[in-house]
Structure 1
Amino acid sequence: METAIIELDHRTDQATRQMLQKVVDKKRKFDKLKLGHLYVMWAVVIASFLYLLLLYKNVMEPYSYSFEAMFSAFVHLPFNMYMLVFIVALYGFMNVLKEKREKADKEFNALRCEIIDKSKDLWKKEEEWKNRHLVYEMMKKTFDVNLYHENK
């Protein structure tokens, strides 16, 4: 458990700290998938651009006089097939990461909204209710988790 969450001893009970820890874990998973998706997306863009540039320089420019000559030059080099398969596979992996990212985002926001909805039950005592803003501020500053509003 995170030290910042453990230090909330008098402001929260054990169950609330566990819920806060789960939200932090879901946020980290979402951030990791978001960054991975971004890297793979840029890899697809750069690889596609470089491959098309290479294709233009090696196939289209020298054999532009005939489509048959261009097609023959394209098929003749096995590198073209490997590169094409690599880019398509990278694009598919990017889509898989996007789906995982969206799923992680939904799980994170569902748990965050659940904490917001149950805030009256989690901070039952009057003093805990008055100090809950300190917990919210700590979660926002330390982990970038907004517990003030359900909307992002």
Structure 2
Amino acid sequence: MDRSDKEFGEWTDQATEQMLHNLIEKKRKFDKAKTMHLYTLWGTLFASFFFLYYMTKFVLNPYSYSFAAMFSVFVSDSLHLFMTLILVVLFGATKILFEKKEKKEKEFHDLRCEVIDRSKDLWKEEAWKKRHHVYDKLKKEWDINLFHGSK
């Protein structure tokens, strides 16, 4: 992480600045997890619709006269089973990435709420009047809202 001394101005001490950098890092990790989950979700949906289209066009419609014939054609080609296995793995990966995203969101939100709750301890006297500059910078540059605790 590229950071300079007193990045948040002279009204933050070293402990406060470290806490804010931890908050920024948690936000980056949450954003990365959110993006990975979204890409995996869309990839899974696209692959599922492609597979359903393929199955409808080449298995269900030509052999719709008999379930046994459809099942026989489906299991006779190893590509069908391989594609099914890939879809199961993609759905599992999507679920795992969703859980990781939720965990990182909770960690980020908990730290954000801690900063908000401890703001009276972090900024004292004259710095208390200038803390909104830090809040504005965090909101503008990293999309972190410290003005209130709700999501």
Normalised to the residue count of structure 2, the TM-score between the two structures is: 0.96
CA gap of 1:142–1:4, structure 2 versus 1, over 3 A, is farther
CA gap of 1:4–1:61, structure 2 versus 1, over 3 A, is farther
User: How far off its partner does 1:6 sit?
Assistant: 3.6
- Aligned structure 1 segments of 4 or more residues deviating by more than 6 angstroms: none
Which deviations, in whole Å up to 9, do the C-alpha atoms of 1:70-91 show, x marking residues without a partner? 1111111100100000000010
Matched pairs, number = 151
- For the 8 Å contact 1:5–1:21, the answer to whether it is kept is no
Q: SS of the counterpart of 1:92?
A: helix
Aligned-partner Cα distance in 2 for 1:60–1:148: 57
Matched, 1:16 2:16: yes
Q: How does 1:89-108 map to 2 (within 5 A)?
A: 89-108=89-108
Gaps of 5+ in 2: none
Q: How does 1:25-64 map to 2 (within 5 A)?
A: 25-64=25-64
Q: SS of the counterpart of 1:145?
A: coil
Which deviations, in whole Å up to 9, do the C-alpha atoms of 1:64-118 show, x marking residues without a partner? 1111111111111100100000000010000000000000000000000000000
Gaps of 5+ in 1: none
Deviates more, 1:6-15 or 1:78-87: 6-15
- For the 8 Å contact 1:116–1:147, the answer to whether it is kept is yes
Aligned-partner Cα distance in 2 for 1:35–1:6: 31
Aligned-partner Cα distance in 2 for 1:148–1:2: 25
CA gap of 1:4–1:31, structure 2 versus 1, over 3 A, is farther
Which deviations, in whole Å up to 9, do the C-alpha atoms of 1:18-62 show, x marking residues without a partner? 000000000000000001100000111110100011011111111
> In angstroms, what is the RMSD of aligned CA positions?
1.3
- Alignment partner, residue 130 of structure 1: 129
Normalised to the residue count of structure 1, the TM-score between the two structures is: 0.95
